[in-house]
Amino acid sequence: MPLSQQARVRLAVVAAIVVLPLLYFHRASLTDEVFIARDILRVYYPLKQYWAERVSQLQFPGWYPYDGMGQPYTGMLISGAFHPANLLYLLLPLGSALKLITLLSYVAALGGTYLFARLWGMRRSAALLSGLTYALSGYLVGISNNLLYLMAASTFPWALWGAERFLRQPSAGRAAATALPLCLVLLGGDPQSFALCNGMLLGLVLLRPSRAEVLRIAPRAGVLIVLGALLSAVQILPVLGILKDAQPTAGTFAQATLFSFHPLRLLELAFGPLFIDPELARAASSPLADELFQSGMGTFWVPSVHLGFPALLLLAGALWTWWRHPLTWKVAGLALLVLALSLALHLPLYGWFYRWVPFWSSFRYPEKLLPYFLFACALGAGAGLESVLREPSLARRLAVAGFGLALVCGLLALGEWQWHVFSDGVVGALWKNGDARTLRLLHGNFLQASLLAAGSLGLMGLLLLQERRLPLRTGALLTLQFVVLYLANEGTYQVTYTDLLEQPSGLVDVVLQRERDAGTVRPRVFSAVNNPLPSRLPPGLELLDVTALGLVSTLAPNTTALWKLESGNSYLPAHSRRLGGLITTFDSFATWMGRLFGLYNVRYISLEARDFARMRGNPDVVVAEDPRVEALLIGNPRVLPRAYLATPVCVADESAARTLLGSRSFQPGQQAILECTPETPRPTEAASGAEGLGQVRFLHYAPESVELEVDARAPAALVLNDAWYSGWSAALDGQATPILPANVLVRGVLVPAGVHRVTFTYHTPGQRLGAFISLGALGLLGLAVLIERRRATRLATPPPHPG
């Protein structure tokens, strides 16, 4: 049976939504490469490998032992432990699953934006332009290195689409279509986007034309927000449960506003990624990011926020057409509000939110808000195409504007070519310490971008003047926008081969060889290598590949988890607040090297060769050298066991413990500083030394459970050199016993003389209750949808004929 014309159009749109992102990312789609950059390597690859290994053994992970001496896994929001996409890690090789999820995120972003635009009355071609512009914008392409933020940016359009449908006509099915993607934004790992998406639900309410309608449907938005929170309780409660123990990610306003968007980067909306090296993309930092743009991190959060001149010209057409309509200025106001928040260091709005909005002070990196602004701009571009298709006179006006802007861009290119107007005249004037190499780079970037802009605007003007064959013209405009985005942004995502992440090399290989008989208690390492790059690139390798090899080779934090080596470094955000306090108190590396690394069971340290020479280190402790990155592997001669007995010394609190830890009177290994409560029996301080107190033997060691056999010759403190968190409980010979913070950071238990069994068990605070709430809410929502559908089926079924 032949398809109808409408069915063929729908099929073509669906094919475009699926094929266009895959075509854009053809390099990653057709090879065995995986999207990779620092955050994929140091966060998602190890975290997802750990999740897949544990779940495949029918053990859901609660504790992650490989970063910062251990931290909660499900309480660490970026782990995304409950996101259903994780099932792909069980079905596919890890690299393939990561690549597929990344690619599907762009399909989801395009599809969600398309549906939302269609809901607001745009025809298919205009909605497709909106989806294309948003999904392949510079921000989304550039954030391919940071999976959770890409997934959040790709999911929230679906939540807004479901919310708008529910606000117009509530039903159980539409509530589910909103609450489920809203929940997935949080389960992916992005609390800031979850908060802002909930705010956007209220924004949709404010778009109503009258105050009476706003008041009438506001409770509906409240229902959606509550439902989304209930479905997310399995993630919300574990995060809240560890807050008092975890290091704040944005403890100060300065930390919260790292990666603040800069007004000068608004030029990227039109011209593309002007301020990065197209050959290196995100792989190398530049003083430009910190000295001019005040990034605070040596690089940009995303290398581009490009939308392209064609989309911006259509956006201007939409504003011209609808400038008198109240809806236009409501949407524009919400978009500009988000943009103002992202400009945190340049406008006061973010500071007000930081001080007065509950929980906002725990968020950081204001550039993460930009997808909501770019989403509105993409919708505006689609509205502009809709206006062009309805009003031929607008097409002619935009064509003239396009020719004029093309001429301006041509003149800008000429000015940059002859007189370096942008690179030296603008950036050079603002950047007082500008180096010649970076200014030459900006010169080339701006010249190329200006010529591309002039060409695309001129071609767009010609297309807009073609008033015949409207479908052909519309297709040509869509193709032009795709090509503009591709030429500007395609180089900002990066791929490398998964082999680089699966084959140990350099110093990590040395550790694995030396510790191949270590058993279940894996050695702990620490990386003090700040720059794991060689002085020059080896032939045949790109900088990204060398960066990945360098990070792995030098034991960079969390990369060690790929080979089940525990790290004393902290890279992930849920690491212990106590560890953060120690780093602040003892900021001298010599103190850590000479005293604290051994105390906390750090067996190996990687160190740059020049730093070791500067410290006049003992060459006898050098285990190996990696000349490629000029790094050394140091074997720690003073390392204490993972578990041992020591003479307990009670103090009142953490501050007193840190003071005693840094004093000369404290004897590491012989004494253990315990933070005793008033109810804790005060032990007698003995002076016998740890070697005379007895022996400790591991019977079982797993992430969430540890069992030890203790043979104590006198009352002592059992020290387990793993991070202390309040979710841990202990039992002495089957009877509950308190775990006391030992030596500030780790776990301690008082044991009497004799032979005993001590067990440690971890349960993430709030996880069971959260799971019960989420499953209950999901079950009730599913039941409501089922009842609603059955009722609708009964009403649609005609009554039987009498007789």
Tens digit of each residue's pLDDT (9 = 90 or more) over 510-536: 999 998 887 789 899 999 998 777 655
Helices 211-231 and 191-206 cross at an angle (nearest 10°) of 160
The pLDDT value given to residue 107: 96
pLDDT score of 478 more than 90 = yes
pLDDT tens per residue, range 235-269: 999 999 999 999 888 778 999 999 999 999 999 99
Distance CA 94, CA 147 (A): 14
Give residues with Cβ within 8 angstroms of 316, minimum separation 6: 384, 398, 401
CA distances from 750 to 375, 483, 657, 682, 739 (A): 57, 68, 17, 10, 8
- What is the torsional sign of CA 360, 362, 365, 368? negative
- Which comes out higher in pLDDT, residue 678 or 190? 190
pLDDT score of 683 more than 70 = no
The pLDDT value given to residue 657: 95
The pLDDT value given to residue 492: 82
The pLDDT value given to residue 540: 61
Mean pLDDT of 155-163: 97
Query: CA 27, 488, 317: angle at the middle one, nearest 5?
Result: 130
The pLDDT value given to residue 54: 96
- Which comes out higher in pLDDT, residue 547 or 689? 547
The single residue listed with the structure tokens 């390798």 is: 541
> Residue 140's closest CA among 173, 165, 177, 108?
108
Q: Given pLDDT bands bounded at 50, 70 and 90, which one contains residue 140?
A: very high
The pLDDT value given to residue 467: 77
Residue 670 has which token pair? 């012989």
The pLDDT value given to residue 642: 96
Q: Given pLDDT bands bounded at 50, 70 and 90, which one contains residue 433?
A: confident
pLDDT score of 566 more than 70 = yes
First to last CA, the chain: 37
The pLDDT value given to residue 284: 46
Percent of the chain scored above 90 by pLDDT?
69
Mean pLDDT of 147-157: 95
Sort strands 728-732 and 735-737 into parallel, antiparallel or unpaired: antiparallel
Q: What share of the chain is helix, strand, coil (3-state, %, to 5)?
A: 55, 15, 30
What letters, b where the CB count within 10 A reaches 16 and e where it falls short, cover 420-456? Answer: bbbbbebbbeebeebeeebbebbbebbbbbbbbbbbb
pLDDT score of 32 more than 80 = no
If phi > 0 it is left, if psi is from -120 to 50 it is alpha, else beta; for residue 683 that is: beta
Residue 174 DSSP code: H
Q: Which amino acid is at 62?
A: G
Mean pLDDT of 459-477: 89
Q: Given pLDDT bands bounded at 50, 70 and 90, which one contains residue 802?
A: low
CA distances from 554 to 64, 83, 625 (A): 21, 31, 10
Helices 436-465 and 392-419 cross at an angle (nearest 10°) of 160
Give the Cβ contact number of residue 517 at 10 Å: 5
Give the Cβ contact number of residue 364 at 10 Å: 21
Contact (Cβ atoms closer than 8 angstroms) between residue 489 and residue 142: yes
CA distances from 692 to 316, 644, 647 (A): 81, 11, 10
Phi, psi of 720 (to 5 degrees): -110, 115
pLDDT tens per residue, range 492-511: 887 776 666 677 778 999 99
Give residues with Cβ within 8 angstroms of 565, minimum separation 6: 66, 508, 511, 512, 515, 522, 523, 524, 525, 555
Distance CA 581, CA 745 (A): 9
Residue 790 has which token pair? 């059955």
CA distances from 230 to 430, 648, 778 (A): 49, 45, 9
- Which comes out higher in pLDDT, residue 392 or 111? 111
Distance CA 635, CA 510 (A): 11
Distance CA 797, CA 597 (A): 74
Distance of CA 64 to the CA centre of its chain: 18
Mean pLDDT of 395-410: 96
Strand partners, 112: none
Strands (E) in 609-725, as ranges, are: 622-626, 631-635, 643-651, 671-675, 694-702, 705-712, 716-723
pLDDT score of 562 more than 70 = yes
Query: Rounded mean pLDDT of the chain?
Result: 90
Sort strands 524-527 and 566-567 into parallel, antiparallel or unpaired: parallel
The pLDDT value given to residue 218: 95
Distance of CA 417 to the CA centre of its chain: 39
Strand partners, 723: 746
Q: Is the model's pTM score more than 0.85?
A: yes
CA distances from 425 to 289, 430, 781 (A): 18, 9, 60
pLDDT score of 768 more than 80 = yes
Q: Given pLDDT bands bounded at 50, 70 and 90, which one contains residue 283?
A: very low
Contacts of residues 51-54 at CB distance under 8 Å and 24 or more positions apart, as own/partner, are 51/79, 51/81, 51/86, 51/89, 52/86, 52/89, 52/90, 52/94, 54/703
The pLDDT value given to residue 346: 94
The pLDDT value given to residue 165: 97
Distance CA 58, CA 248 (A): 32
Distance CA 567, CA 589 (A): 16
| SS3 assignment, position 115 | helix
pLDDT score of 405 more than 50 = yes
> Residue 307's closest CA among 129, 115, 154, 136?
136
Q: Given pLDDT bands bounded at 50, 70 and 90, which one contains residue 305?
A: very high
The pLDDT value given to residue 16: 86
Q: Given pLDDT bands bounded at 50, 70 and 90, which one contains residue 39?
A: confident
